[in-house]
Structure 1
Amino acid sequence: MKGINRYFLEISYDGTAYHGWQVQPNATSVQEKLHGALHTFLREETETIGAGRTDTGVHARQLFVHVDSDHPLLQNDPAKCVHALNALLPFDIAIHRIIPVHTDAHARFDATERSYEYHIHFEKNPFLVNRSTLLRDKPDILKMNKACAHLLGTKDFTCFSKSNTQVFTNICTIKEARWVESKTGMVFHVTADRFLRNMVRAIVGTLLEVGLKGKPIAYLDEVIASQNRSKAGVSVPAHGLYLTKIVYPYIQQ
C-alpha cells in the first residue's frame, strides 16, 4: 500500500496485571493496551505483531513489535511519538524506541535470537513479590550448571513444551544456559534461536529436580530423549520469568 511504512516498537512491561502479551477475548493483555494507545494517537485502527508471546504474569525487559502506519509524525519525529504514546500507556508498559524498518521486516520471524532470565530468591522480601520466586531451600548451583551443558545445541525439546501448541517443529538451538548467583538468590540465563510455549519455566523446574531433589545430571538427557512433557519437572511460577533480549540482523541493540 502506497505511503504505508513499517516501524518496530521496542517496549518493556511488568506483566503482573496482564494475561500475557496477546489480546484475549475476556482478559486484559499488554497488546490490548498498546493497541488502545496507538488508536488514540494515530486516530486509526492498527494491528501489531510481537516477537513472541509471554504468558500471564511474565515480564519483558525487551520486546519488539511491528506496526504499519502512514502517520507523518512517526517518520519525522519518532522521539516525540515515543513521549506521546508513553503518556497514553499505563505505568507498567513503556515504549523505548520507534525504529523505521523495511516494509517486509517481521518482528516475529526475523528474530535470530531470544534471551530469558528466571529469578529466584531465598529470603522473604516484599519488594520481590511478583518479580522473583521464593524458595525455602537453596539448590546446588554447581550441579545445575553441569546439567545445563546437556541443554546446549540443536535438539527436539518437546519434553519442555506445553501440549497442543500450533508450531511446525519443536526443534530449537539453545546457545546459552547457565545459573549465576545474585544478591538475593540466583538467576537462570538462557538464549536460543526460538522457544516453545512454557519452555523456560519447564526447563527451570527440571533443573531444580537436579539441584534440589537429587536427580542425577544424566536425568536431563533422559527427559529430552523421552520427548514427553510428563517426564520433565513441573513448571515454575510465571512471575520469576523475564524476556530480556531479542536480536535482529538489522536492529542495533
Structure 2
Amino acid sequence: MPRFRLTLAYNGSSFSGWQIQPNAPTVQAAVEKALGVALRQKVQVHGSGRTDAGVHANGQVAHFDFPRALSETERARLRKSLSGLLAPDVFVKELVPVHDSFHARFDADYRTYHYYFSDIHQPLFGQTTAFFPQLPHFDDMRRAASCIQGDLDCLSFTPFDPALPHHRCWFFESYFREADDYGRYCYVVTANRFLRNLVRSLVGTLIDVGSGKKTAEEFSALFRNPDRTKSGTTAPAKGLVLYKVGYDGHWKLP
C-alpha cells in the first residue's frame, strides 16, 4: 500500500501532546481527523515520537498509508486542504511519497530539540519562551552543556521505566546559543532518542547551574552516578520545540 510522509509544525499550547488520548485534544487526533475529511476515509497516522502537553514542533514527522498512489498535483491539493483544516495551530510543511517500508519512528537517525528561554520577560513570545530570571553563571551553563556528549545514562533526568532495557541515549550535540535580537537564548540538543521529560529536566538542571544552585561538575556527575532526586526542576513545556527529525544519516551511531 502506498505510504506518505508528513512534516508538521505546530503550536502545542492548546494540545495535550502528540499521542491520541481519550477526552483530550492532541495533535495526532487533529491530523487524523483532517486526513479523514480530506481523503474521505479513516486514516491512521504514525508519528516519529511523542511530544508532551504544551510542547511545540517545527519538524515533527509522521507517516500514513492510502490505498492508491497520489499524483504530485493531488498531493499539493491535499497538503493545502490539510493546512486549511488544521489552521491555525498546525501547518503541513511537506507531504511526500516514501517507500512502503519507511517508518517515521523506527527509521529516524536522530532528533533535535530547541529550548527557548530568556532572563527578561518577553510578551511577544509568551507561549513559546520560558522565563528564568537571574542567570549570572551562564558560562558555567555552557560548560555543563558541553559535557553532554556520546553514550550517557540519563536516569537522573527521566522517570524510571521498567519496560525499557536501559535509560541510555547517545548525544551528538549539546550547546547554548543566542536565538535572536530579543534577548532570547536557545539550548540545542541532538540525540538518537529522547526519554520522557528528558530535555525539560536537562534544561531545569542547567538552569540550576546558571543560578548557582549547582556546579558544572555536579551536573556532569549526574550522568556517572544517576540519582533522580538530585536533578533540577523540570522546565516548563512551552519553551520546548521538536526542531528536526533526521533520516539523512547526518548523525549515526558509531
- State the TM-score, normalized to the length of structure 1: 0.92
| Equivalent residue, structure 1, for 2:225 | 226
Deviations 1:99-131 (A, max 9, x none): 111111100010001101111112223211121
For residue 98 of structure 1, what is the aligned residue in structure 2? 95
Query: Where does residue 248 of structure 2 map in the other structure?
Result: 249
Q: Is contact 1:42–1:71 with CA below 8 Å preserved after alignment?
A: no
Q: Which runs of 5+ in 1 are unaligned?
A: none
Opposite residue 63 of structure 2, the aligned amino acid is: H
What secondary structure does 1:196 align onto? coil
Q: Structure 1, residues 18-72: CA drift from partner, whole Å, max 9, x if none? A: 0001101121001111011011111111111101110000000111101000245
TM-score, normalised relative to structure 2: 0.92
Query: 2:172 pairs with 170, 175, 180, which one?
Result: 175
Unpaired stretches in structure 2, ≥5 consecutive residues:
none
Distance 1:151 1:250, change over 3 A: closer
Does structure 1 retain, via aligned residues, the 8 Å contact 2:170–2:193?
yes
**Matched position secondary structure for 1:77:** helix
The answer as to 2:98 corresponding to 1:121 is no
By how many angstroms is 1:160 displaced? 1.2
Is 1:132 the counterpart of 2:129? The answer is: yes
1:189 aligns with 2:194: no
User: Matches of residues 14-163 of structure 1 in structure 2 within 5 Å?
Assistant: 14-73=11-70, 77-163=74-160
Q: Given that residues 59 and 245 in structure 2 are in contact (C-alpha distance below 8 angstroms), is that contact kept between their aligned partners in structure 1? A: yes
Could you tell me whether the CA contact under 8 Å between 1:147 and 1:220 is conserved in 2? yes
List per-residue Cα deviations over 1:169-208 (Å, max 9, x = no partner): 3111111111112432311111111111110001011111
Stretches of 4+ moved more than 6 A in 1?
A: none
Letter in 1 for 2:205: T
**Does the Cα contact within 8 Å between 2:135 and 2:207 map onto a contact in 1?**
no
Query: What's the C-alpha RMSD, in Å, of the aligned pairs?
Result: 1.8
Indicate conservation of the 8 Å contact 1:6/1:66, yes or no: yes
Asked if 1:237 corresponds to 2:243, the answer is no
| CA deviation profile, 1:110-168 (whole Å, cap 9, x unmatched) | 00011011111122232111210112213422111111122111111111113437433
Distance 1:166 1:180 in 2: 35
2:6, 2:95 within 8 Å by CA — same for their partners in 1? yes
Number of equivalences: 248
CA distance in 1, matches of 2:136, 2:66: 50
Equivalent residue number for residue 201 of structure 1: 200
User: Percent identity over the alignment?
Assistant: 33
Q: For residues 15 and 63 of structure 1, do their structure 2 counterparts lie closer, same or farther at Cα, with a shift above 3 Å needed?
A: same
